Amino acid sequence: MQSPIAIALFVTVIVSTLLITRWAARRTHSRSEFYAAGSSITGTQNGLAIAGDFMSASTILGVAGLAFSGNSDAVLYIVAPLLGFTIMLLFIAEPLRNLGRYTVPEVVSLRFAGRGVRGFTAAAALVVTIFYLIAQMVGAGALIEILLGVPYSLAVVVVATLMMLYVAFGGMLATTWVQITKAVVLIVGVVLMTVLTFSRVDYDIGSLYSIAREQMSDVLTGNRTGALNSLYSTLSLGLALSLGVCGLPHVLMRFFTVPDARQARRSIVVAMMLIAIVFTIVLFVLSYAAIAFLYGKPEFFDEAGVLRGGANMAVVHLSRLLGGDVLMGIVSAVTFATILAVVAGLTMASAGALAHDLYAQVFRRGTASEAQELRVFRFATFAVTVVAALLGIAFKGTNISFLVSLAFSVAASANFPVLMLSLYWRGLTRRGALLGGAVGLITSTGMLIAGPAIWVDVLGHARPLVGSNYPTLIALPLALLTAWAVSMLDVRRQDLDAQRTFDALAAKSQAEA
């Protein structure tokens, strides 16, 4: 499927984003500019960037792929994140903006002096971003392999190199503008596909659904392995996808790029509206169009009857059907830009946790100079890139949406409870935060590894140690319970200074812009 138009558009995306990086690199010198674009981004721009940061390959390729293969989990992936953004708006965005400067662990550690809590939150942030990066790498490798005929491993290395260049040289400013550009082209792309879909059914959406329903009856038998097949998995994945949003370091970090709390609120409002529009279109138009128009067309399936490139490529094949090579090239380039923007945000968050939290604060105890920290930031960017590329190659072929759900599960079970409790519970002690977060992290990661998707499918064992792939319903309450119990038992040792710190921080966190 090596269309010259697709290749030209891929090259255009790469050149444009590198030009943005060059422009940003000239304006990025200090630590504040590297980590937070000098807090100079407006609320609307940041809203676009958050939408660009959040809507990953799993949104565009994965959700439509799930629906196309008869997996009703697609509905869950669409509906849950908006609840997470509501909670983020009501409870997290303003305190984060008012209290922090560069990273999320920095905000949590304001409550508790010393290195333990900061080290833990930075490590948890790293685990989440690495899981998320693997998903993006797998999506990027598969997409470029099928569209340009480039070997999977080489495609992963190209994406990894680009993300390293954006972040190491352009910092948060380049990352922000790559994300804004991506959000705009993504919206234009899905709207264009929607118009072409409607024109194919004479602008009667009812007939689109009728055709899709007929195809479902003829071809699809329904997927019995999805999360929705049991109430436990449904609730667990629902919790992970909604509360996990509030624990994603690359999204939360974006609140430090705006000047005040009011702009932070505006960011979320803009992001939520854009995400709601795109998600609605992806589920209710593009997924049904893929089911309605692709089944029964042998040119899109291989000899075994499997969609070429796998179900994740349903939207790409649909674009070719609707608008020929030109639209397929556009959609492929948009998806590629999507992946680049998300990996840039993730690399930014990982390198920030490594350089600003672990190196400068935990290991050097705040004695590192700005120049030293920025040198380590660039080295950390390189290290994250290498790890992400290697893991991306190792996880080849794994379902993208599932990989993303792993990141959300850990974010909801480890990052979210520690952040919320440290912002809102006066009684939380250092040990409570550390042990609560550690229990959430270990339980969620342990259950994920012992679950069918990794223990059986990746590691090759006959039976899983844990029956479900979705640990949040167990790991999150366990983390909260541990934090509460340890803090209550620890209460005698809790010094008055920590409580005074909480009172002062609570007042500052609620301050109006």
Partner 1 sequence: MADESSENVRRARARSRLCLALAGVSCAVFLLFLVLLARAVQQDPLAPLRNVRFSAVGVGINFALALGSVAAFGYWRRIERARAARRAER
In the complex, the residues that contact partner 1 under the rule CB under 8 A are 67, 70, 72, 74-76, 78-80, 82-83, 85-87, 89-91, 209, 213, 216, 220-224, 226, 228-231, 234-235, 238, 242, 265, 268-269, 272-273, 276, 280, 283-284, 287-288, 291, 506-507, 510, 512
Return phi, psi of residue 97, to 5°: -65, -40
Cβ 441 to partner 1, closest distance in Å? 23
CB 86 → partner 1: shortest distance, Å?
5
Q: Are the C-beta atoms of residues 173 and 37 closer than 8 Å to each other?
A: yes
Nearer to partner 1, 32 or 287 (CB): 287
Q: Which is nearer to partner 1, 268 or 438 (CB)?
A: 268
Q: From the CB of 261, what's the least distance to partner 1, in Å?
A: 10
- Taking alpha carbons only, the member of 502, 406, 485, 387 closest to residue 157 is 387
- Least distance from C-beta 75 to partner 1, angstroms? 5
48: CB partners within 8 A, 6+ apart: 179, 180, 183, 184, 270, 271, 274
The C-alpha atoms of residue 393 and residue 129 are separated, in whole angstroms, by 17
Look at residues 276, 293, 288, 277 and name the one whose alpha carbon lies nearest to residue 206: 288
CB of 68 to partner 1, least distance (A): 10
Contact of 54 with 60, CB cutoff 8 Å: no
Q: Which is nearer to partner 1, 1 or 276 (CB)?
A: 276
Question: How many C-beta atoms surround the C-beta of residue 440 within 10 A?
Answer: 32
Closest to 465 measured CA to CA, from 453, 478, 473:
453
Are 486 and 436 in contact by the 8 Å Cβ rule? The answer is: yes
Give the CA angle between residues 71, 72, 77 to the nearest 5°. 105
Question: How many Cβ atoms sit within 10 Å of the Cβ of residue 243?
Answer: 25
Q: Where are the alpha helices (DSSP H) in 353-495?
A: 370-394, 400-410, 416-424, 430-450, 472-489
For residue 216, give both structure tokens.
Answer: 């479902």
Smallest separation, CB 91 to partner 1 (Å)? 6
Least separation, in Å, of the C-beta of 262 and partner 1? 8
Amino acid at 452: P
- Under 8 Å CB-to-CB from 157, ≥6 apart: which residues? 389
Sequence letter at residue 419 = L
Least distance to partner 1 from the beta carbon of 94, Å?
A: 10
Closest approach, Cβ 269 to partner 1, in A, equals 5
Phi, psi at 301, each rounded to 5°: -120, 150
Q: What are the b/e assignments for 414-436, b being 16+ CB within 10 Å?
A: bbbbbbbbbbebebbbbbbbbbb
CB closer to partner 1 out of 287 and 399: 287
Smallest gap from residue 413 Cβ to partner 1 (A): 17
- By C-alpha distance, which of 344, 379, 209, 327 is closest to 368? 379
Which CB, 185 or 272, lies closer to partner 1?
Answer: 272
Which lies closer to partner 1 via its Cβ, residue 222 or residue 324?
222
- For partner 1, the closer of residues 277 and 326 by Cβ is 277
Nearer to partner 1, 229 or 372 (CB): 229
Between 83 and 498, CB nearer to partner 1: 83
- 147: region left, alpha or beta (phi > 0 left; psi from -120 to 50 alpha): alpha
* CB nearer to partner 1: pick between 7 and 269: 269
